[in-house]
Chains A and B, each alone.
Chain A
């Protein structure tokens, strides 16, 4: 049962083949069995089982949605009333939110049952999940490898089948990179589609919630309940709701897939390139056409990102002052000293680094040279995507330059870590929908992801193209060794 997809679980629940309480117990047990992965930060069986009982009552009444009773876990960036919300930071240790994030509320309204909160990089800053105050998450495929970040707990939970689905967030690649490293499906929608209300802010002009699942079909089902206009989020887009499953039977014949040459340059490891090229060949077999495109300034995405994201982070994280909530230092001399000590003790090294960069680039005399210049180059990159989409329907390429790296390999060198987002940052800067789907294995039998990107609001076609690939291949059905031995 734990290997079933969200779609299958929803059908089994409605058919009465399994109850929501049985499913909740099964996955809670799996969380416990695989607690050494360190994917979960807060689990409260009494909360989960109460939600499951309510879901069962709803199913009995005939009032179920396709998601009612299906378990899900939330990245610990979304605030929740019933579980701690920490952003994996010491500064929010034990924090209990007075409200649920809109995404949490909507999925709850659909009847999904919350298994708990998932580990991630502190304030979603990182590419390996090594920046959590609560310890590393291990990659279920190979425990000596990172699961990717920042949504590392979400990726590991779905990969290890200890949650059928998990929410995640993407600022510069925090959904796609861990999805690729952990061999699962991960998608971020167009910026503005997913409500940011109750999503602990990192870089507001980039932050976007998405979902991690086993398949594109499951992601489409969950998007139906999760996305849509939210008046509480000032950057939420006002558009009619839509059915994200409507193009799952997309005809790939004649679909134009743009392949950016810049994504296959120096730095791309041969094993990743091979798996990605084979995936592209599979698309050709399915009827798609490959078109060479160019995104000449994509590589500038990293420097742009490391101005804009730290700038916005330094502003957003100024709210943590030890006054209203969060950690307060035990000893201090006056108000300023209290704030300085509280923040210094509460934030880990990566948020501190980014706050310092951000404070500097926003400071008097440097604002135009750094922040405004970065925003201008951001537009150059976004415009290049628009030019590319005149020639193609989707863009495809690698998600990462390599398969998952080992713990400690990049942790001491921030710049090396930042460069692991080379292929994911451009799509985040443009604000377009983008996803990663499993497309094979590379060195040390670690998973490889194929990146697919679409133009604004074209999620349904993006999911359709991914679904068709997943119907023709079985990479997304492969199980990590530790899950195989659970059977």
Chain B
């Protein structure tokens, strides 16, 4: 198949997926768990891909993702909380010191830039370290960032250890499109005539945003920079001998990853509608790392599939394990709170131990190969990412 044809098929696939979401949002009630999974999955997909860029494509084992997400989420929230709501949010700090807001899109980019700027600062010393030392140093930096954001002395900016809220979320952005002020008649009429459209837009917003970001990351990976990253991953010494500037390329990868992790964090804030620094613990980084492993280290599509599976399993499919009834078996004594996570972590351990390549290995999703698998006659079908 030619490259053009391949692109066409991929575009058609994405279009078909969008159509399915559209149809589902027409038939399902807006409270369905599916939409939560789609929204959260899309956000985690972006964060997982950003982590994969670092761990899978550049071979830098970094565990600082939660810290960059925290910076992104806070930057977004601080710059978008409406001025009128600030006295309520910053009730212990006299309304805070920042008394202006910026548009949502600008705030999102600012969130990414803040995270990338911070990555630039810590990258200078940290990127000289190797493998596990790098991991532990980035983990440490994430903890330091969390402590700084919880520090009460910075309260007028960060609200100390209190929650930030009332900033525009996905729900409120779409609902504001149909405000009762005469200017938004078009959307108001649209939503009254087709109420399901509102839910469709709320679901599509995060998917679209992270889709754009992931496309940018893929473009970077396919550029000459991306090839340099892979060379560094495979053999640092050989890459250096071939004339690749190690420090510079590692820094580019680190900052890009932080940039998109920051945007991912901001989107997580938009999804949750409230954020608190204490939630961004190292456990969050571990979860994202497990998503990357599940999908396959070094595969962008793998990370996307992995994150949707991870979120769907933990938020939706395995819910019954917590509620007393699962697959028709009712055992409230065993299936009580927390059992879901136990089953879940056992599954993940099995993947880590016996299925080390994850879902996609280091290959990308390929329509041709998928078809090839269903046609056992062709020898080509034997070559699959699913080993």
A, B co-complexed: no
